């Protein structure tokens, strides 16, 4: 149900002006801010009292909250794959959590959201966390030259990225497919199979660490933190964790400034609040919740910078800004950062069960705030079902981009929901957990397909939520998924099971994209 607080007078006036002076509306700039591992309850986007995120709160007050929005997967790579290609990741092999030296998960033959924006004449940029592979095949990248294929080949004119995650090597920034600040006399080597002889690791040299791992994360040491994977060399190019948020936010803002005459599309993946959580000293110790809470403050700062650069350039009323997360929250994700101990009353998962990795709601139900000044009614909200997979077709519809046959096969045009104009949303959405088990959500019901994978992780205790039997949850009356109502509503379960089978049978293969028009 859609709720609007006030309909501002300028919206009505705008409509009158449009009808008396027919003029083709300028298509808006679009910014997608995709935060990392931020849960439904992690931001003050709906009056949270346990965390203060004033910039996010402002964005929500000036825009729309989609309170039933899902990412397509409970981990990063498949969620991002779905968002940028409009294809469910479980249709493709090799879309699971990518190593830092993975080859391109999205193949250059595929038509991406960036291609779609290019087809509409947009300048396109990707800044921040990437985690969708680079180069042709795993391990084949030339980290010391031009890393190709890369983002230019899938529609991005500009890129300034971290190859994978904060906790995976190589720990360097890559601008337009070249490592930034690399000294040719100190080349980079990367391996995910064997350590480099003589190079310290977290496992063998814990005395060199400033943060200790709690699980894994004991390979190469970069900036005093041991990571997943091994790297050698490239000392001058290595990032400092405290500076990541500032660096990538600067680059996002610079892209906006360079392209302020528009139209532009910016995909901004924050590093916050993924592990290792090492926010700048401006935020360290400020949340009272330790580094995880401090990283939320850092994320809020980045959101604020983006909003304020739009204001200062005078383009806020011509820019659609979407803030969401790639997957649900996790408290201990592998470093001893006291996140569990300092959580207090804060509930990263909101009213839902599970965490990142889980088939339960908290795995994929994420915050989503949409702001477009002068177009979206301030302070509005909608609980219509929305999936990030629909951003592709919805934004294409908004911007006049081409979605050719075979492109974005799972994406549906839900623009009216995205803009707070109602319309009901999609009839069902498929979500996936770490083990690639599926659930389908439809009309307030959730059918979880049976799986022999573990219910919990024996090592970490993570609640994956797999069960050998199928289950049905009534999300409207039982949002925390406490009661399996399969026995009470077998006919509803059967309807959803069939719907899931139909989605799986439909659009199973991706086809080559149409030729992408030159800009």
Q: Are 321 and 306 in contact (CB under 8 A)?
A: yes
User: Is 44 one of the binding residues for ligand NG6 (CB under 6 A)?
Assistant: no
Task: Give the CA count within 13 Å in the CB-facing half-sphere of 513.
Answer: 25
| Residues 455-474 contacting ligand NG6, CB under 6 A | none
User: Is 91 one of the binding residues for ligand NG6 (CB under 6 A)?
Assistant: no
Of 37, 44, 390, 410, the one binding ligand NG6 (CB under 6 A) is 37
Picked from Ca ion, ligand NG6, none, the partner binding residue 275 (CB below 5 to 8 A depending on kind) is: ligand NG6
Residue by residue, DSSP assigns 123-177 as: EEEEEEE--S--SSSTT---TTS---S-GGGGT-SEEEEESS-TTBS--BEEETT
Tokens standing for residue 280? 């700048």
* Nearer to Ca ion (CB atom), residue 298 or residue 380: 298
* Nearer to ligand NG6 (CB atom), residue 302 or residue 381: 302
Of 92, 107, 217, 232, the one binding ligand NG6 (CB under 6 A) is 217
Picked from Ca ion, ligand NG6, none, the partner binding residue 355 (CB below 5 to 8 A depending on kind) is: none
User: Is 97 one of the binding residues for ligand NG6 (CB under 6 A)?
Assistant: yes
Of 36, 62, 115, 332, the one binding Ca ion (CB under 5 A) is 36
Long-range pairs for 4-9: beta carbons < 8 A, 24 or more residues apart: 4/377, 4/379, 4/380, 4/420, 5/377, 5/378, 5/379, 5/380, 6/377, 6/378, 6/379, 7/377, 8/377, 8/378
In this chain, which stretch among 138-146, 315-323, 327-335, 407-415 interacts with ligand NG6, using CB under 6 A?
327-335
Picked from Ca ion, ligand NG6, none, the partner binding residue 131 (CB below 5 to 8 A depending on kind) is: ligand NG6
| The pairing of beta strand 264-269 with beta strand 123-129 | parallel
* Nearer to Ca ion (CB atom), residue 183 or residue 457: 457
| Residues 312-331 contacting Ca ion, CB under 5 A | 326-327
Picked from ligand NG6, Ca ion, none, the partner binding residue 116 (CB below 5 to 8 A depending on kind) is: none
Of 228, 310, 321, 403, the one binding ligand NG6 (CB under 6 A) is 228
CB count in 10 Å sphere of residue 161: 26
Q: Are 48 and 366 in contact (CB under 8 A)?
A: no
DSSP 3-state assignment of 80? helix
User: Is 42 one of the binding residues for Ca ion (CB under 5 A)?
Assistant: no
Which of 480, 324, 443, 329 minimizes the C-alpha distance to 390?
324
Task: Give the CA count within 13 Å in the CB-facing half-sphere of 466.
Answer: 18
Total site size for ligand NG6, rule CB under 6 A: 17
Question: Where is 492: in which H helix or E strand?
Answer: helix 490-505
Which of 322, 448, 311 minimizes the C-alpha distance to 391?
322
Of 275, 321, 414, 500, the one binding ligand NG6 (CB under 6 A) is 275
User: Is 37 one of the binding residues for Ca ion (CB under 5 A)?
Assistant: yes
Tokens standing for residue 334? 């592998």
User: In angstroms, what is the minimal distance from the CB of 203 to Ca ion?
Assistant: 25
> How many angstroms separate the Cα of 188 from the Cα of each of 135, 144, 161?
15, 6, 17
Picked from ligand NG6, Ca ion, none, the partner binding residue 334 (CB below 5 to 8 A depending on kind) is: ligand NG6
| Calculated CA dihedral for residues 394, 395, 398, 399, nearest 10 degrees | -150
Picked from Ca ion, ligand NG6, none, the partner binding residue 507 (CB below 5 to 8 A depending on kind) is: none
In this chain, which stretch among 200-208, 210-218, 376-384, 389-397 interacts with ligand NG6, using CB under 6 A?
210-218
User: Is 76 one of the binding residues for ligand NG6 (CB under 6 A)?
Assistant: yes
Of 48, 53, 75, 387, the one binding ligand NG6 (CB under 6 A) is 75
User: Is 238 one of the binding residues for ligand NG6 (CB under 6 A)?
Assistant: no
Return the residue nearest Ca ion (CB atom): 76
User: In angstroms, what is the minimal distance from the CB of 393 to ligand NG6?
Assistant: 25
Which of 368, 363, 407, 408 minimizes the C-alpha distance to 386?
368
User: Is 332 one of the binding residues for ligand NG6 (CB under 6 A)?
Assistant: no
User: Is 334 one of the binding residues for ligand NG6 (CB under 6 A)?
Assistant: yes
Tokens standing for residue 37? 């591992």
Decide: residue 4, CB within 10 A, 0-12 exposed, 13-18 middle, 19+ buried: middle
Of 157, 167, 241, 294, the one binding ligand NG6 (CB under 6 A) is 167
Contact characters 72-111, Ca ion, x per CB under 5 A: ----x-----------------------------------
Residue by residue, DSSP assigns 234-300 as: -GGGB--GGGHHHHHHHHHHHHHHHTTTS-EEEEEE--TTSSS----TTTTTSSSSHHHHHHHHHHH
Picked from Ca ion, ligand NG6, none, the partner binding residue 157 (CB below 5 to 8 A depending on kind) is: none
User: Is 325 one of the binding residues for ligand NG6 (CB under 6 A)?
Assistant: no
Tokens standing for residue 3? 């709720």
SS3 track for 229-250: CEEECCHHHECCHHHHHHHHHH
User: In angstroms, what is the minimal distance from the CB of 122 to Ca ion?
Assistant: 26
Of 216, 304, 444, 454, the one binding ligand NG6 (CB under 6 A) is 216
* Interface with Ca ion (CB under 5 A): 36-37, 76, 326-327
* Interface with ligand NG6 (CB under 6 A): 36-37, 75-76, 97, 131, 165, 167, 215-217, 228, 274-275, 327, 333-334
């Amino acid at each position: 149900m859609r709720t609007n607080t006030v309909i501002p007078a300028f919206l009505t006036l705008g409509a009158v002006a449009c009808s008396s002076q027919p003029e083709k509306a300028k298509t808006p700039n679009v910014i997608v801010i995709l935060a990392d591992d931020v849960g439904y309850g992690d931001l003050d986007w709906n009056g949270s009292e346990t965390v203060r995120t004033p910039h996010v709160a402002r964005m929500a007050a000036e825009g729309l909250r989609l309170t039933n929005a899902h990412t397509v997967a409970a981990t990063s790579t498949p969620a991002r794959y779905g968002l940028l290609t409009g294809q469910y990741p479980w249709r493709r092999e090799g879309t699971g959590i990518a190593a830092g030296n993975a080859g391109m998960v999205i193949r250059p033959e595929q038509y991406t959201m960036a291609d779609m924006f290019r087809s509409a004449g947009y300048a396109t940029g990707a800044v921040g966390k990437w985690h969708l592979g680079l180069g042709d095949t795993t391990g084949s990248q030339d980290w010391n030259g031009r890393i190709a294929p890369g983002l230019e080949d899938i529609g991005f004119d500009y890129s300034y990225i971290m190859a994978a995650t904060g906790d995976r090597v190589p720990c360097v920034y890559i601008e337009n497919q070249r490592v930034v600040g690399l000294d040719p006399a100190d080349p980079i080597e990367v391996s995910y199979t064997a350590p480099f002889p003589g190079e310290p690791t977290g496992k063998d040299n814990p005395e060199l660490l400033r943060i200790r791992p709690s699980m894994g994360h004991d390979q190469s040491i970069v900036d005093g933190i041991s990571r997943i994977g091994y790297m050698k060399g490239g000392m001058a190019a290595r990032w400092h964790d405290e500076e990541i948020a500032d660096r990538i936010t600067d680059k996002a803002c610079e892209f906006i400034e360079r392209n302020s005459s528009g139209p532009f599309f910016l995909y901004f993946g924050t590093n916050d609040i993924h592990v290792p959580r090492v926010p700048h000293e401006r935020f360290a110790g400020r949340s009272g919740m330790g580094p995880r809470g401090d990283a939320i403050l850092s994320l809020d700062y980045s959101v604020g910078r983006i909003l304020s650069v739009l204001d200062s350039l005078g383009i806020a009323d011509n820019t659609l800004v979407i803030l969401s997360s790639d997957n649900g929250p996790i408290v201990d994700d592998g470093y001893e950062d006291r996140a569990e101990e300092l959580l207090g009353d804060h509930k990263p998962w909101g009213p839902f069960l599970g965490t990142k990795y889980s088939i339960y709601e908290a795995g994929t139900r994420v915050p989503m705030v949409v702001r477009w000044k002068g177009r979206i009614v301030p302070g509005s909200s909608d609980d219509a079902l929305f999936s990030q997979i629909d951003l592709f077709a919805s934004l294409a519809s908004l911007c006049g981009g081409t979605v050719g046959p075979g492109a974005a096969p799972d994406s549906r045009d839900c623009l009216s929901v995205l803009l707070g104009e109602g319309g009901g949303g999609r009839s069902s959405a498929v979500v996936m957990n770490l083990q690639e088990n599926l659930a389908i959500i439809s009309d307030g019901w959730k059918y979880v397909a049976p799986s022999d994978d573990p219910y919990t992780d024996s090592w970490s205790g993570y609640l994956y939520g797999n069960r050998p039997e199928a289950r049905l949850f009534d999300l409207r009356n039982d949002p925390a998924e406490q009661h399996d109502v399969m026995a009470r509503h077998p006919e509803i379960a059967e309807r959803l099971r069939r719907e899931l089978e139909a989605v799986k049978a439909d659009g199973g293969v991706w086809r080559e994209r149409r030729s992408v028009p030159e800009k």
